[in-house]
Amino acid sequence: MVHFIGAGPGGADLITVRGARLLGEADVIIYAGSLVNPALLDYKKEGCQVYDSASMTLEQVIEVMRAAEERGGVTVRLHTGDPSLYGAIREQMDELDKLGIAYDVTPGVSSFSGAAAALNAEYTLPEVSQSVIITRMAGRTPVPEGEGLRKLASHGCTMVLFLSTGLLEQVE
C-alpha cells in the first residue's frame, strides 16, 4: 500500500495524527527533501528506507514504490502542505493504477491555513469576503484561459496565491 501524506506547512508538529502514525508504520518513505521539513522523518521507525525525491525522476519514484509493494511493504509518499493543492500526485496515482498498486491520500494542513494562523488572520469576514479563491500565476505551467489573476480578482473575494513568489511584479 502507498500512502500519500500531506506534510503540512513546515512545522513537524503540524502534521495530522494520521500522517504521523503512517510515517511510523512505513517501511519506505519518499519525501521531497527540498520542500519537506526533514524533522518529519523523526516519526519513522528504525530500519525504514528513506528516499529524497528531489533528485529522482517520476519513473524512479514509481520503481521504489513498486519494489516495496512486491516485498509487502508500506510506502509513504510525503508531500508538502496538502496533496490536493498543487501536490502533483495525479501522475503518480496514474502510474500506480497501471501497476494495480493500492493507495490512499491523507490530507495535510495547507500552508494557506498555516499562514492565516501565523498572522492571527481570518480569510472570511462578514461584509468583507465570504469566499476564498486559491490560485497561482501562470508560469512554466499555464492556467486555464478563464482563470487569469485579473479575472479572478474581479470577483472581490479573498485570494490565496501559491507558487507565485518569483512573479511578484506580474502579480502586482
Please report, for the domain that includes residue 65, its CATH number.
3.40.1010.10
Catalogue the E-assigned strands of the chain. Answer: 2-6, 28-31, 49-52, 75-79, 103-106, 132-136, 158-162
Q: 100 and 143 share a domain?
A: no
For the chain, the average pLDDT equals 93
Cell, residue 74: 508500506
pLDDT at 34 exceeding the cut of 90: no
pTM: 0.89
C-alpha dist (Å) from residue 53 to 22, 34, 50, 77: 19, 9, 10, 9
Q: Are residues 80 and 126 in the same domain?
A: no
C-alpha cell recorded at residue 42: 523523526
Q: Could you tell me the CA-to-CA distances from 142 to 5, 54, 135 in Å, in that order?
A: 26, 23, 12
Band (pLDDT 50/70/90 cuts) for residue 107 is very high
- In this predicted structure, what is the pLDDT of residue 43? 97
- What is the per-residue pLDDT for 94? 97
pLDDT at 132 exceeding the cut of 90: yes
Average pLDDT rounded to a whole number, residues 89-117: 95
| Same domain membership, residue 160 and residue 130 | yes
Q: Domain count of the chain?
A: 2
Same domain membership, residue 104 and residue 24 = yes
Structural domain including 10 reads 2-110
Q: What gap in Å lies between CA 13 and CA 5, rounded to an integer? A: 14
115 in any annotated domain:
no
pLDDT confidence of residue 167: 81
Q: What is residue 38's three-state secondary structure?
A: helix
Q: What is the pLDDT of residues 133-171, one digit of tens each?
A: 999 988 888 889 889 888 999 999 999 999 888 888 888
In a shared domain, residues 68 and 93:
yes
Together in a domain, 133 and 70? no
Percent of the chain with pLDDT over 70: 100
Tens digit of each residue's pLDDT (9 = 90 or more) over 61-93: 999 999 999 999 999 999 999 999 888 899 999
